[in-house]
A and B are shown apart, each in its own frame.
Chain A
Amino acid sequence: MGEAPLLEIKGLGKRFAARQGREPSPWVIQGLSFSVQPGEFLTIVGPSGAGKSTLLNMIAQIDTVSEGEIVFNGEALASRDARALRPGCGRRIGYVTQDDNLLPWRTTFDNVLFPIEVQGRLDAETRAHAEMLVGAVGLAGFERYYPHELSGGMRKRAALIRTLAYDPPVILMDEPFAAVDAQTRAQLQADLLRLWNLKRKTIIFVTHDITEAIALGDRALVLSRQPARIAAEHTIPIPRPRKVEDIFAVEGFATVYERIRAAIQ
């Protein structure tokens, strides 16, 4: 990987500011550094409460950093001051959050089109692309349903393709499949890998599920307990295309799994 990294995290630290009658929080994240190559699928595993969401919120520019810097495409993001934050960094960083955050008053398809619409890019081509994505994740026929009429798995799919549809170069994913049952999760993972194969975007995928981190990623970072920093880094030697359902059986899986598990302890 001789290319310049697309995203660099340098000595990142976060503590929440003092409020009335309260001290500032202890450091949630401290001295965290890593970089991401263009087109890489990076997974980040860490125990619950390790500050994984906080990390993604800072990269997505919806939360301030307390220390260190975030360099995106060679440009250091101004992210100390809440008023200087530019959420999504000018549409270049997409974010699939843990909650689907679909707009309840818009139908499935109108939710998928929402980013394209507010960006003023709605035309025959972007619409056709969105329709293709709706079909690719099995939501065809549900375009005109409202979010409350969809199952949990369908809502996740809609949220996922809403971000894919406007095509940001980097996509952050915060345990997007955590709240669905195991079978649906395997299906969603397979959908995601298939879509990623079509167009190799840069993805940072956070999870607490070691199997998921191995099944999806090119490389897995392991976060330590608070304050979070990188405890270990593993390149995942499993060739693509991968079959998510029987990832356990693949050679090399057990070794990586054991190493990551040991690093989390």
Chain B
Amino acid sequence: MMRWRTYTDRLIVLAVILAAWQVGSFLVGPYWLSSPGAVAARFCAQIWNGELIRHGGYTVEEALIGTLVGGVPAVLLPFLLRRHPVMVAILDPFMVGGYGAPKLAFAPLFILWFGIGIESKIALVAGVVFFIVYFNALSGVRALDPRLVQMAQIAGAGERHVARHVVLPAAVPHILAGFRIAVPYAIGGAIIAELISSNRGLGYLVQTGAMNFDTTSVFSAILAATLIVHAANWLLNAAERTLLRWRPPAQAMLDAEN
């Protein structure tokens, strides 16, 4: 019952947003602000002729490879440095700097270095994802209860067993939270790099749409990007449900709502 109520309320909110958009489009003219109806029609047409699938596919590919290239070392590094707090302390200001630097501003530089192909997009996405996931994985490794490690050592667990059976499972919720935060940034990073220079991807569609004063096309590409982020979140939720079965439901539910 609760669920039904939520769904109907969501539909009402959606209707309000679409109505406001429609009114806005009517007031300023569809030339400046396309209408929801036109966007929906264009979106379906572009799905049908494969244009959105193809360009969306490029963007997803860039975001996915970039997430792996940035995310895997970001997860491994805190594990390798677990027994070397001095190294973590030395690296800290650089990591904080890397986290805080406006990485999107590097996009032109990456295009200069890696060209307008997929490599420059991967580099930008990896740079954005790395720092977000690193700090989450680090907090997961730090939040570990030392008494669990002592228990494991007394029971005869070596360093490898402790890492595999105690440190890693304890850090998984933090690592997943890091990826959850990173996913929209990964898609966004790929699109920004495409906006600046590329001949394919959703960013390219946005760019050409805007150059041709075709706001319908711009909105259609943005809608596609939003749906991709939603789908990625849904996948992460499914992964979390499987990987974190062991957590008390109250805690799991709180996290799912975030």
CB distance from A155 to the nearest CB of B (A): 13
Residues of A within 8 A of B150 (CB): 62, 87, 101
Q: Is A93 an interface residue (CB 8 A)?
A: yes
Quick one: closest B residue to A85, CB to CB? B153
Q: Is B158 an interface residue (CB 8 A)?
A: yes
Task: Please tell me if the beta carbons of B155 and A115 are within 8 angstroms of each other in the complex.
Answer: yes
Residues of B within 8 A of A256 (CB): none
> Of B123-131, B161-169, B190-198, which stretch is located at the interface?
B161-169
Q: Is A146 an interface residue (CB 8 A)?
A: yes
Known: A99-B147, A105-B246. A91 touches B156 (CB 8 A): yes
Q: Is A20 an interface residue (CB 8 A)?
A: no
Quick one: closest B residue to A91, CB to CB? B156
Quick one: closest B residue to A149, CB to CB? B248
Residues of B within 8 A of A118 (CB): 152, 155-158, 161, 165
Task: Please tell me if the beta carbons of B147 and A88 are within 8 angstroms of each other in the complex.
Answer: no
Task: Please tell me if the beta carbons of B156 and A88 are within 8 angstroms of each other in the complex.
Answer: yes
Residues of B within 8 A of A49 (CB): none
Quick one: closest B residue to A99, CB to CB? B147
Q: Is A185 an interface residue (CB 8 A)?
A: no
Residues of B within 8 A of A106 (CB): 246
Q: Is B81 an interface residue (CB 8 A)?
A: no
Quick one: closest A residue to B169, CB to CB? A105
CB distance from A84 to the nearest CB of B (A): 14
Task: Please tell me if the beta carbons of A103 and B148 are within 8 angstroms of each other in the complex.
Answer: yes
Residues of B within 8 A of A105 (CB): 169-170, 172, 246
CB distance from A123 to the nearest CB of B (A): 16
Task: Please tell me if the beta carbons of A114 and B152 are within 8 angstroms of each other in the complex.
Answer: yes
Known: A62-B150, A103-B148, A118-B161. A166 touches B155 (CB 8 A): yes
Bound together, the chains give a CA A90 to CA B154 distance in angstroms of: 8
Bound together, the chains give a CA A94 to CA B152 distance in angstroms of: 11
Q: Is A104 an interface residue (CB 8 A)?
A: yes
Q: Is A160 an interface residue (CB 8 A)?
A: no
A-B residue pair count with CB separations less than 8 angstroms: 62
For the residues of B in contact with A, the DSSP-based class is helix
Task: Please tell me if the beta carbons of A103 and B169 are within 8 angstroms of each other in the complex.
Answer: yes
Q: Is B151 an interface residue (CB 8 A)?
A: yes
Quick one: closest A residue to B148, CB to CB? A101
Q: Is B241 an interface residue (CB 8 A)?
A: no
Q: Is B247 an interface residue (CB 8 A)?
A: yes
Residues of A within 8 A of B172 (CB): 105
User: Interface readout for B239-258 with A: 1 if CB under 8 Å, 0 if not?
Assistant: 00000011110000000000
Residues of B within 8 A of A200 (CB): none
Quick one: closest A residue to B173, CB to CB? A105
Residues of B within 8 A of A101 (CB): 145, 147-148, 150-151
CB distance from B242 to the nearest CB of A (A): 12
Residues of A within 8 A of B166 (CB): 103
Task: Please tell me if the beta carbons of A91 and B155 are within 8 angstroms of each other in the complex.
Answer: yes
Task: Say which residue of A88, A148, A163, A166 sits within 8 Å of B248 (CB atoms).
Answer: A148
Near B by CB (< 8 A), chain A positions 90-137 give 90-91, 93-95, 97, 99, 101, 103-106, 114-115, 118-119
Bound together, the chains give a CA A60 to CA B151 distance in angstroms of: 10
Quick one: closest A residue to B168, CB to CB? A105
Quick one: closest A residue to B157, CB to CB? A118
Task: Please tell me if the beta carbons of B156 and A62 are within 8 angstroms of each other in the complex.
Answer: no
Bound together, the chains give a CA A93 to CA B147 distance in angstroms of: 16
Task: Please tell me if the beta carbons of B147 and A87 are within 8 angstroms of each other in the complex.
Answer: no
Task: Please tell me if the beta carbons of A87 and B246 are within 8 angstroms of each other in the complex.
Answer: no
Task: Say which residue of A95, A99, A104, A148 sits within 8 Å of B154 (CB atoms).
Answer: A95
Task: Please tell me if the beta carbons of B155 and A114 are within 8 angstroms of each other in the complex.
Answer: yes
Bound together, the chains give a CA A87 to CA B154 distance in angstroms of: 5
Bound together, the chains give a CA A163 to CA B157 distance in angstroms of: 13
Residues of B within 8 A of A93 (CB): 154
List 17 additional contacts besides A87-B150, A163-B155; criterion CB under 8 Å.
Answer: A88-B156, A90-B156, A91-B156, A93-B154, A95-B154, A99-B147, A101-B147, A101-B148, A101-B151, A103-B148, A115-B157, A118-B152, A118-B156, A119-B155, A119-B156, A146-B245, A166-B156
Provide a sorted-by-A list of 25 A–B residue pairs whose CB atoms are within 8 angstroms.
A60-B154, A62-B154, A88-B153, A91-B155, A93-B154, A94-B154, A95-B154, A97-B147, A101-B150, A103-B166, A104-B246, A105-B169, A105-B170, A114-B152, A114-B155, A115-B156, A115-B157, A118-B152, A118-B157, A118-B161, A118-B165, A119-B156, A146-B246, A148-B248, A162-B155
Taking Cβ atoms with an 8 Å cutoff, the residues of B that contact A are: 145, 147-148, 150-158, 161, 165-166, 169-170, 172, 245-248
Ranked 10 nearest A-B pairs via Cβ? A88-B154, A115-B155, A87-B153, A118-B157, A91-B156, A101-B151, A105-B246, A105-B169, A118-B161, A148-B248
